[in-house]
């Protein structure tokens, strides 16, 4: 196919003719990202909490998750494919492993950043360790947690584009089909929605992060201040 004379109208025409298939790929893409991130969030936050309670646990957990993070995404998916076989399951497990580090690390950092005076105040009014975690530490560290989720989401959207190499679906199917057939329209039809999805994910999670930061400030203002000793008469 001749690609030199393609226009935006050609692109719109192609998308209009294949909107059913492209929409299916788009939904597959989002589904894999959401499930992979959801699993990483469910596991990563407790790991971050565990890191904040033990220096040794922090060293071990962050070391392992950091190794997972620096492994090239294609290499990780290929290794997982040998174990789990072809399909979306391999992609979602890869996303889960790939997203653990930013979520666990940011949860850990956020919890460690909580001012000790708020913890002492909570203990002073009789809060249990669990209450301190849920009502004081977690709300004050939420902006860090959202930052980790934001980073993981943007990375995940990009990683899913190589899912077809291990039998997965998503917009990457259209990109690789375009590469194999030297069809720029198909490449753009897969790449542009994927790029837009990454941008939207970043913007939406960024808004939630700023909202969490505002909540953190309100919680800090509302938090009980350390009790001052009474003067002796």
Residue 6 lies in a domain: no
The CATH number linked to 133 is 1.10.3720.10
Q: The pTM is what?
A: 0.84
Please tell me the distance from the alpha carbon of residue 130 to that of residue 142, in angstroms, as a whole number: 16
Determine the pLDDT at residue 212: 72
Residue 1 in this model has a pLDDT that exceeds 50: no
Determine the pLDDT at residue 119: 80
pLDDT (tens digit, 9 = 90+) per residue, 76-127? 999 999 999 888 999 999 999 999 999 999 999 999 888 888 788 888 888 8
Residue 17 lies in a domain: no
* CB neighbour class for 59 (10 Å; exposed up to 12, middle 13-18, buried from 19): exposed
Residue 71 lies in a domain: yes
pLDDT (tens digit, 9 = 90+) per residue, 194-225? 999 999 999 999 898 888 776 555 555 454 44
Cβ neighbours around 3 below 10 Å, total: 12
Spacing of C-alpha 65 from chain mean position: 14
> What's the chain's length in residues?
233
Residue 122 lies in a domain: yes
Please tell me the distance from the alpha carbon of residue 65 to that of residue 38, in angstroms, as a whole number: 16
Determine the pLDDT at residue 227: 44
Distances (CA, A) of 41 to 8, 73, 143, 172, 199: 39, 19, 14, 24, 20
Determine the pLDDT at residue 173: 94
Handedness of CA 105, 106, 109, 110 (dihedral sign): negative
Cβ neighbours around 74 below 10 Å, total: 13
Domain holding 61, by residue range, is 24-222
Our count of domains for the chain comes to: 1
């Amino acid at each position: 196919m001749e690609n030199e004379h393609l226009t935006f109208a050609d692109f719109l025409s192609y998308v209009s003719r294949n909107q059913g298939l492209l929409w299916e790929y788009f939904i597959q893409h989002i589904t894999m990202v959401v499930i992979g991130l959801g699993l990483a969030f469910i596991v990563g936050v407790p790991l971050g909490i565990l890191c904040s309670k033990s220096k040794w646990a922090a060293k071990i957990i962050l070391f392992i998750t950091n190794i997972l993070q620096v492994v090239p995404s294609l290499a990780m998916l290929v290794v997982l494919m040998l174990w789990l076989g072809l399909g979306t399951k391999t992609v979602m497990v890869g996303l889960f492993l790939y997203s653990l580090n930013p979520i666990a690390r940011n949860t850990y950092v956020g919890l460690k950043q909580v001012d000790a005076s708020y913890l002492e105040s909570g203990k002073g009014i009789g809060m249990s360790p669990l209450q301190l975690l849920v009502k004081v530490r977690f709300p004050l560290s939420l902006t860090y947690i959202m930052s980790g989720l934001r980073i993981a989401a943007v990375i995940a959207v990009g990683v899913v584009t190589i899912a077809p190499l291990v039998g997965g679906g998503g917009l990457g199917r259209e990109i690789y089909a375009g590469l194999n057939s030297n069809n720029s329209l198909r490449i753009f039809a897969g790449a542009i929605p994927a790029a837009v999805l990454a941008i939207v994910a970043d913007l939406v999670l960024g808004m939630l992060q700023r909202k969490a930061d505002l909540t953190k400030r309100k919680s800090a203002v509302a938090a009980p201040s350390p009790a001052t000793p009474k003067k002796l008469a």
